[in-house]
């Protein structure tokens, strides 16, 4: 049963698509304090658990930390952070009583989930202007299904988007892309997509291509396509402020950019230099921005990744000027140590500063709205601009689109990736732990940068991470400029990489079918063991294994120098190791086991009475035979 409560006059975030009658606030089931901010609170029982919040750090069970919904360009994914790129404001509390809460509110929310007081949860909204949904049900999965039903069906990308994908910030000229393609082919490594990061653009201008790097872009895209490679260029939120650049000129002329206190275009610095931020909250702007993608689609590219749409701001022109004035004041004189730190902090604080987010405005139906009050839907609405245009123009399931920032609702037209993680062993586990949370919030097409974005990878880290990535709908290897190269052919003997990647293609029919079913039935692809084995105390607390679909359980290796791992079987299962065309099987009893897993093996556990189909390995989805499948068991 879903109950909707409305506090004052909230901004329409477009998260919920079903009509639900508004209940009387007097019936609100949690403690309420709406004096100035809006505070919802409830007490936790000793063994109560909390699931949800989508893309966040820490455990599958979110209890015991304080999170903030505030879309942030956060490059350091460590456990003391409170926010990442998205605002996924849905939790399920699982104790004697089970209930879900969705806070539909586009500004900052603080989720104190047993942080200040171990048994108290307090959810605080800056302003008492929100729709709050309370959902109860028999099981977590049932509550989540009800929630997913009201937010609408999840986006389904084209089948080829389930193939293996290679990306790198630093591929720039067309030879770089051809090399990646050829090196995969030469080494019998499968590949479906190559990503184009910001360097393909002319001076980082959205919807342009650098002619020096790509003398004949169309011919280049065509050649890639003939080799069954889909190209996926990046688009950033900010539009370079440059007269003569048609996208800017048109946006400027029509008043499509966010404005400052005085009504002038808000100016900030991102990759292209000074940019205007399109006002994606205005439907006309969305329509206009969506149309811009056509320029690139007409060259033959098949999809896009939308970046920097929290929006990330390196500095605002105003903020930078203020900081420089400060520097001028101390120039040439000796400064004290505290003054030094203050100056340093001023410079570092220029990036993604709250002061800036408070100082620009949107036009929502003719009403001027401060960005801070709608911050968390900005990126989602940028991606909506693209996704809605693609569906309208090309039909469903035709174009690949995913975003860095997101809000619930965007799951209907796009996927997400988990942003700038690092080549750390702990981030394999972080990747795993995020999956059920984002699935709960409707985002099914998702994945992390395999191998890690920041820092330097090692051969074994990449292999182990790929063995988890084999199961995630988005299977993309991506890294940052200046880090150690991490394409699968960079580490001497490629055989082990080929073995792991072959498993992905063998599993695509199963993964794709499960994905579609989860979208159609409002289900999760990845679940905590706690959902399936609620009475099993050990299973409830497992944080390094997940249930996948209705058939299996996954348990990747996520530590270095390990030849296997401990795994908990909540019932009798068949332990399977897949590697290239090889399949190892062993029936195992419920309980704790140590299992050996080599670097080229992908472990999987099949539930009793279940089976999954396997395809023959292929070098890309175009060559994949999805008809003639064999049973794994
Ligand atoms: O400020 O486009 O998360 O995937 O490679 C960094 C360059 C901007 C951040 C994205 C990352 C991408 C990078 N971008």
- For 385-411, write each residue's pLDDT tens digit: 999 999 999 999 999 999 999 999 999
Atom of ligand 1 nearest to the CA of 449: 4
Atom of ligand 1 nearest to the CA of 167: 5
Q: Whose alpha carbon is nearest atom 5 of ligand 1?
A: 169
What do you get for the CA distance between the two ends of the chain, in Å?
40
Instruction: Find the residues whose C-beta lies inside 6 A of ligand 1.
Output: 169, 197-198, 234, 307-308, 404, 419-420, 478
If you count them, how many residues does the chain have?
A: 633
Task: Tell me what pLDDT residue 628 has.
Answer: 97
Distance 236 CA to ligand 1 centre (A): 9
Q: Are strands 230-236 and 303-307 parallel, antiparallel or unpaired?
A: parallel
Rounded distance, CA 598 to CA 605, Å? 16
Rounded distance, CA 226 to CA 223, Å? 5
The burial class, CB within 10 Å (0-12 / 13-18 / 19+), for 323 is middle
Task: Tell me what pLDDT residue 124 has.
Answer: 98
Q: Are strands 273-276 and 239-240 parallel, antiparallel or unpaired?
A: antiparallel
State which H helix or E strand residue 465 sits in. Answer: helix 459-469
Rounded distance, CA 217 to CA 625, Å? 31
Task: Tell me what pLDDT residue 272 has.
Answer: 98
State which H helix or E strand residue 509 sits in. Answer: helix 495-520
Rounded distance, CA 470 to CA 458, Å? 18
- What is the separation of C-alpha 423 from the centre of its chain, rounded to a whole number of angstroms? 17
Rounded distance, CA 12 to CA 9, Å? 9
- Asked if residues 495 and 471 have their Cβ atoms less than 8 Å apart, the reply is no
Considering just the CA atoms, what is the radius of gyration of the chain in Å?
A: 24
Pocket test for ligand 1, best of 84, 171, 238, 420 (most atoms within 8 A of CB): 420
- Asked if residues 84 and 55 have their Cβ atoms less than 8 Å apart, the reply is yes
Distance 124 CA to ligand 1 centre (A): 31
Rounded distance, CA 115 to CA 283, Å? 40
Task: Tell me what pLDDT residue 610 has.
Answer: 98
The DSSP code for 223 is H
Distance 477 CA to ligand 1 centre (A): 13
State which H helix or E strand residue 180 sits in. Answer: helix 174-186
Distance 14 CA to ligand 1 centre (A): 27
Rounded distance, CA 200 to CA 210, Å? 6
Rounded distance, CA 44 to CA 534, Å? 17
Low-confidence ranges of the chain (pLDDT < 70): none
Rounded distance, CA 217 to CA 55, Å? 36
Q: Whose alpha carbon is nearest atom 6 of ligand 1?
A: 308
Task: Tell me what pLDDT residue 85 has.
Answer: 98
Task: Tell me what pLDDT residue 35 has.
Answer: 87
Pocket test for ligand 1, best of 200, 480, 482 (most atoms within 8 A of CB): 480
Q: Whose alpha carbon is nearest atom 12 of ligand 1?
A: 169
Task: Tell me what pLDDT residue 601 has.
Answer: 99
Name every residue whose Cβ is closer than 8 Å to that of residue 253 and which is 6 or more positions away in sequence.
none
Q: Whose alpha carbon is nearest atom 8 of ligand 1?
A: 308
Task: Tell me what pLDDT residue 462 has.
Answer: 98
Rounded distance, CA 277 to CA 259, Å? 9
Distance 623 CA to ligand 1 centre (A): 31
Distance 442 CA to ligand 1 centre (A): 24
Distance 307 CA to ligand 1 centre (A): 7
Pocket test for ligand 1, best of 170, 234, 477 (most atoms within 8 A of CB): 234
What separation in angstroms does the CA of 282 have from each of 10, 151, 313, 536? 16, 21, 20, 49
- Asked if residues 387 and 410 have their Cβ atoms less than 8 Å apart, the reply is yes
Residue 101 is encoded by which pair of tokens?
Answer: 């809460």
């Amino acid at each position: 049963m879903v109950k909707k409560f409305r506090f004052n006059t909230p901004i329409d975030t477009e998260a919920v698509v079903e009509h639900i009658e508004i209940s009387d606030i007097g019936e609100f089931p949690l403690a309420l304090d709406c004096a100035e901010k809006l505070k919802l609170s409830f007490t936790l029982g000793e063994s109560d658990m909390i699931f949800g919040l989508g893309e966040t750090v820490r455990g599958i069970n979110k209890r015991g930390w304080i999170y903030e919904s505030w879309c942030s360009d956060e490059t350091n994914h460590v456990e003391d952070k409170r926010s990442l790129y998205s605002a996924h404001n849905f939790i399920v509390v699982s104790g004697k009583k089970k209930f879900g809460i969705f806070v539909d509110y586009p500004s900052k929310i603080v989720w104190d989930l047993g942080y200040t007081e171990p048994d108290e949860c307090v959810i605080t909204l800056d302003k008492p202007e929100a729709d709050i949904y309370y959902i109860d049900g028999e099981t977590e999965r049932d509550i989540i299904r009800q929630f997913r039903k009201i937010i609408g069906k999840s986006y389904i990308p084209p089948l080829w988007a389930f193939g293996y994908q290679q990306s790198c910030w630093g591929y720039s000229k067309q030879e770089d892309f051809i090399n990646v393609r050829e090196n995969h082919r030469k080494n019998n490594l499968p590949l479906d997509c190559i990503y184009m990061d910001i360097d393909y653009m002319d001076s980082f201008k959205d919807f342009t291509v650098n002619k020096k790097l790509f003398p004949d872009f169309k011919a280049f895209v065509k050649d890639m396509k003939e080799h069954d490679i889909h190209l996926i260029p990046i688009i950033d939120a900010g539009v370079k402020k440059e007269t003569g650049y048609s996208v800017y000129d048109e946006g400027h002329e029509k008043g499509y950019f966010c404005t400052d206190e005085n009504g002038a275009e808000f100016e900030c610095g991102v990759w292209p230099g000074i940019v205007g931020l399109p006002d994606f909250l205005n439907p006309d702007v969305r329509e206009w921005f969506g149309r811009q993608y056509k320029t690139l689609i007409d060259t033959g590219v098949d999809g896009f990744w939308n970046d920097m749409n929290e929006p990330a701001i390196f500095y605002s022109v105003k903020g930078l000027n203020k900081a420089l004035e400060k520097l001028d004041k101390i120039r040439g004189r000796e400064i004290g140590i505290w003054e030094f730190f203050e100056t340093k902090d001023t410079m570092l604080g220029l990036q993604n500063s709250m002061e800036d987010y408070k100082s620009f405005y949107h036009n929502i139906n003719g009403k001027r709205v401060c960005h801070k009050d709608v911050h968390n839907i900005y990126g989602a609405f940028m991606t909506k601009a693209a996704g809605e245009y693609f569906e309208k123009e090309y039909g469903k399931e035709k174009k690949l689109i995913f975003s860095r920032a997101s809000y619930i609702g965007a799951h209907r037209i796009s996927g997400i990736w988990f942003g700038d993680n690092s080549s750390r062993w702990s981030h394999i586990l972080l990747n795993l732990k995020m999956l059920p949370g984002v699935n709960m919030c409707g985002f099914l097409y998702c994945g992390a940068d395999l191998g890690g974005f920041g820092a330097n990878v090692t051969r074994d880290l990449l292999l182990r991470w790929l063995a988890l990535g084999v199961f995630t709908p988005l299977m993309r290897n991506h890294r940052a400029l200046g880090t150690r190269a991490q394409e699968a052919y960079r580490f001497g003997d490629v055989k082990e990489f080929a073995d792991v990647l072959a498993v992905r293609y063998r599993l695509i029919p199963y993964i794709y079918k499960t994905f579609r079913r989860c979208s159609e039935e409002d289900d999760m692809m990845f679940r905590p063991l706690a959902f399936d084995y609620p009475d099993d105390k050990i299973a409830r607390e497992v944080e390094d294994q997940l249930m996948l679909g209705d058939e299996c359980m996954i348990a990747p290796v996520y530590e270095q120098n390990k030849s296997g791992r401990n795994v908990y079987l909540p019932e009798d299962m068949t332990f399977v190791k897949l590697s290239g065309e090889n399949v190892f099987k062993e029936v195992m009893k419920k309980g704790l086991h140590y299992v050996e897993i080599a670097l080229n093996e992908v472990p999987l556990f099949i539930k009793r009475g279940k089976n999954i189909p396997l395809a023959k390995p292929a070098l890309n989805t175009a060559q994949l035979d999805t008809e003639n499948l064999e049973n794994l068991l």
